């Protein structure tokens, strides 16, 4: 590969529950005069996937259990909000420093279980959850856009995430379809003919981060990015869930 | 911003100690018919910066102290290699799981203090250290390419890094010049008019990750990537060292 082109779809409409996301994307592609080609990668913000799947929850309608009440007291947050976080998590890792760090039921580690209170409607009691099954969402989006456009495209659903050791958020791959997400270079040679020792590349996270540059986090509202030029056929395809490392294999834990 | 274009410089020559990197890059730009414009971001692999600065060290020529000898025994590695890691670090965080995780003297956390044994000459006793002062290197590269091309370009020196919680490496920003590296969106509004709570964006890490897609880790040897279309003027410029988070402010520690 010697070039990549990233295009943000301008004026993407605000997504409502039960909107047909593939057809919104196809319409917006047309309005932006972007023609899909075989191998194009469409990076879609998790937020609009969750919205189309109506993953809203009203904090006031949640009955908080004892653990949630205790957490709420400790962190000075709403018990209902704490309960939703607990429901979305398989394990609490830390409640120090005024945040909850959890292992999400989907496996990855993050703050507040990926719950979102920005870029959603102005009702402060509403939170937006991650898609129920992001992999299934990615496959659906990929298959239906591929079918309608008659091109074999790839899809990444991406979200922004804080990270240990580094300031600021970057985008990462929550789920993917029809693309290599983790590339294994074992057995390949470096430019001097030495065999490479480690080297797995988190390519779906790099594609997500690249798309994140154009998505922005503020009011720019560019939740769909098209990436052209990525050669997905050199490596075998695998789901972005391969980017989650379990505790035993995590060198830092 | 509604588009980004990334171009890899093909056939970049192997870099030798004391090579004049700015002039190698300018020559390669010409051979690749890439014309620099104001605001272009040049992402340069740390490896070739280190090589041009002759940051090689021969393990056999290092006198290992007692700590290095003990570490070498524990991890079954060469004492000289351990000593170089200790010399490059301000703090050892962990020596479990058969690797050394350190706080590098430059502040960031990584494995083996960023020492490199792949993509360097076939002598297994030679390691390549990070630049002595990556910020100074980035400023020098930026100023000299800007001057010679008569365009105000930006430079990021990027390296690949393993991460807690995630499989595979991604590229991150080791140093930068003439570009916003950490963007602070505090006070901005989201698409619904709510004010954003957190949100700092590690934009130099996202640009590095984007460039990493084209650099590859294997034998492709594309260590210089030009990024066109990034609007660096919307936010104030700051050094990539702002992306290092200290222990007190790290929500995960």
d(CA A190, CA B137): 25
Instruction: Judge: A166–B202 Cβ closer than 8 Å, yes or no.
Output: yes
Q: Which residues of A178-187 are buried (b: 16+ CB within 10 A; e: fewer)?
A: bbbbbbbbee
Instruction: Judge: B206–A218 Cβ closer than 8 Å, yes or no.
Output: no
Q: Number of residue pairs across A and B with CB atoms under 8 Å?
A: 251
B45 and B98 housed in the same domain:
no
DSSP, res A148: H
pLDDT at B197: 60
How many domains does chain B divide into?
A: 2
B214 and B202 housed in the same domain:
yes
pLDDT at B19: 97
Within 8 A of B212 by CB-CB distance, chain A residues are 201, 206
Within 8 A of B121 by CB-CB distance, chain A residues are 192
Within 8 A of A245 by CB-CB distance, chain B residues are 165-167
Instruction: Judge: B250–A165 Cβ closer than 8 Å, yes or no.
Output: yes
Strands A183-184, A109-111: pairing is unpaired
Task: Answer yes or no: is A252 within a domain.
Answer: no
Task: Answer yes or no: is A249 within a domain.
Answer: no
B82 and B48 housed in the same domain:
no
d(CA A132, CA A106): 9
d(CA A130, CA A120): 13
A252 close to B (CB below 8 A): yes
Structure confidence at residue A248 as a pLDDT band (50, 70, 90): confident
DSSP H/E element including A59:
none
Give the up-direction half-sphere exposure of residue B249: CA atoms within 13 A in the CB hemisphere: 10
Beta-strand ranges (E) seen in A37-107 are 41-45, 56-58, 89-94, 101-104
Encoded tokens for B189: 């509004």
Phi then psi for residue B214, to 5 deg, are: -90, -30
pLDDT at B129: 93
pLDDT at B112: 87
- pTM here? 0.95
pLDDT at B220: 58
d(CA B29, CA B25): 6
A158 and A48 housed in the same domain:
yes
CATH number for A216? 3.30.1330.100
- Position A219 pLDDT exceeds 60: no
Strand partners, A92: A102
Instruction: Judge: B251–A206 Cβ closer than 8 Å, yes or no.
Output: no
Measured between CA atoms, how close is B221 to chain A, in angstroms? 6
Instruction: Judge: B164–A167 Cβ closer than 8 Å, yes or no.
Output: no
B75 and B42 housed in the same domain:
no
B139 and B204 housed in the same domain:
yes
Structure confidence at residue A58 as a pLDDT band (50, 70, 90): very high
Instruction: Judge: A8–B2 Cβ closer than 8 Å, yes or no.
Output: yes
d(CA B109, CA B163): 9
Closest CA to A194 of B71, B124, B184: B124
A104 and A160 housed in the same domain:
no
Instruction: Judge: A244–B191 Cβ closer than 8 Å, yes or no.
Output: no
Out of B101, B165, B206, name the one closest to residue A171 (CB).
Answer: B206
Instruction: Judge: A218–B198 Cβ closer than 8 Å, yes or no.
Output: no
B81 and B206 housed in the same domain:
no
ipTM of predicted complex: 0.94
Q: What is the dihedral of CA A131, A135, A141, A145, to 10 degrees?
A: 170
Instruction: Judge: A4–B3 Cβ closer than 8 Å, yes or no.
Output: no
Encoded tokens for B17: 């100690």
d(CA B50, CA B241): 18
Task: Answer yes or no: is A160 within a domain.
Answer: yes
First to last CA, chain B: 35
Q: Which residues of B222-250 are buried (b: 16+ CB within 10 A; e: fewer)?
A: bbbbbbbbbebeebeebbbbbbbbeeeeb
Out of A167, A217, A249, name the one closest to residue B185 (CB).
Answer: A217
A164 and A205 housed in the same domain:
yes
Task: Answer yes or no: is B24 within a domain.
Answer: yes
Instruction: Judge: B252–A2 Cβ closer than 8 Å, yes or no.
Output: no
pLDDT tens sequence across A130-167: 999 999 999 999 999 999 999 999 999 999 988 889 99
Strand partners, B42: B155, B226
B182 close to A (CB below 8 A): yes
In chain B, whose CA is at the least distance from the CA of A228?
B5
Task: Answer yes or no: is A251 within a domain.
Answer: no
d(CA A37, CA A27): 16
Within 8 A of B112 by CB-CB distance, chain A residues are none
Q: Which residues of chain B have pLDDT under 50?
A: none
Q: Which of A114, A123, A163, A240 to mutate to test the interface with B (most CBs of B within 10 A)?
A: A163
Encoded tokens for A251: 């060198």
Structure confidence at residue A120 as a pLDDT band (50, 70, 90): low
DSSP H/E element including A23:
helix A21-31
DSSP H/E element including B141:
helix B134-149
**Which of B87, B109, B128 is the last residue in one of the domains?**
B128
What string of H, E and C letters represents the secondary structure of B25-90? HHHHHHHCCCCCCCCCEEEEEHHHHHHHCCCEEEHHHCCCCHHHHHHHHHHCCCHHHHHHHHHCEE
- Position A245 pLDDT exceeds 80: yes
Structure confidence at residue A216 as a pLDDT band (50, 70, 90): confident
Task: Answer yes or no: is A250 within a domain.
Answer: no
Q: At what angle do helices A66-75 and A79-87 cross, to 10 degrees?
A: 120
In chain A, whose CA is at the least distance from the CA of B197?
A118
Strand partners, A67: none
**Which of A81, A99, A128 is the last residue in one of the domains?**
A128
Per-state percent for chain B, helix, strand, coil, to nearest 5: 30, 25, 40
d(CA A74, CA A81): 13
B27 and B144 housed in the same domain:
yes
Out of A162, A192, A205, name the one closest to residue B251 (CB).
Answer: A162
pLDDT at A195: 65
Q: Which domain holds residue B221?
A: 5-53+132-244
Closest CA to A217 of B237, B1, B188: B188
CATH number for B91? 3.90.1660.10
B103 close to A (CB below 8 A): no
**Which of A128, A144, A164 is the last residue in one of the domains?**
A128
Task: Answer yes or no: is A30 within a domain.
Answer: yes
pLDDT tens sequence across A3-56: 999 999 999 999 999 999 999 999 999 999 999 999 999 999 999 999 999 999
Task: Answer yes or no: is A24 within a domain.
Answer: yes
CA–CA distances in Å: residue A222 to residues A56, A60, B104: 21, 31, 37
B4 close to A (CB below 8 A): yes
B108 and B233 housed in the same domain:
no
C-beta of residue B247 within 8 angstroms of C-beta of residue A167: no
C-beta of residue A215 within 8 angstroms of C-beta of residue A162: no
Instruction: Judge: B218–A189 Cβ closer than 8 Å, yes or no.
Output: yes
Encoded tokens for B244: 């290092």
Instruction: Judge: B117–A253 Cβ closer than 8 Å, yes or no.
Output: no
B33 and B143 housed in the same domain:
yes
A166 close to B (CB below 8 A): yes
In chain B, whose CA is at the least distance from the CA of A198?
B168
List all residues 6 or more positions away from A225 whose beta carbon is below 8 Å from its beta carbon: A6, A7, A8, A9, A42, A43, A211, A214, A215
Token pair 């409409």 in the structure block, residue: A13
């Amino acid at each position: 590969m010697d070039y990549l082109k990233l295009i943000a779809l301008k004026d993407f409409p605000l997504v409502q529950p039960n909107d047909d996301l593939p057809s919104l994307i196809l319409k917006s592609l047309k309005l932006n005069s972007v023609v899909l080609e075989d191998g194009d990668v469409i990076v879609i913000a998790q937020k609009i996937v969750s919205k189309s799947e109506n993953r809203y929850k009203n904090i006031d309608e949640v009955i908080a259990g004892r653990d949630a009440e205790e957490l709420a007291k400790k962190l000075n947050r709403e018990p209902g909000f704490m309960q939703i976080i607990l429901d979305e998590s398989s394990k609490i890792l830390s409640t120090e420093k005024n945040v909850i760090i959890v292992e999400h039921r989907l496996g990855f580690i993050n703050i507040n279980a990926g719950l979102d209170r920005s870029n959603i409607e102005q009702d402060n009691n509403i939170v937006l959850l991650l898609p129920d099954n992001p992999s299934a969402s990615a496959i659906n989006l990929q298959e239906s856009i591929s079918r309608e456009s008659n091109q074999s495209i790839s899809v990444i659903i991406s979200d922004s995430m804080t990270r240990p050791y580094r300031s600021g958020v970057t985008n990462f791959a929550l789920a993917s379809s029809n693309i290599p997400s983790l590339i294994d270079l074992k057995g390949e040679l470096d430019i001097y003919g030495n065999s490479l020792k480690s080297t797995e590349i988190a390519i779906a996270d790099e594609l997500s981060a690249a798309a994140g540059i154009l998505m922005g986090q503020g009011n720019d509202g560019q939740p769909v990015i098209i990436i052209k030029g990525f050669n997905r056929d050199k490596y075998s395809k695998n789901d972005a869930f391969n980017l989650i490392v379990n505790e035993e294999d995590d060198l830092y834990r």
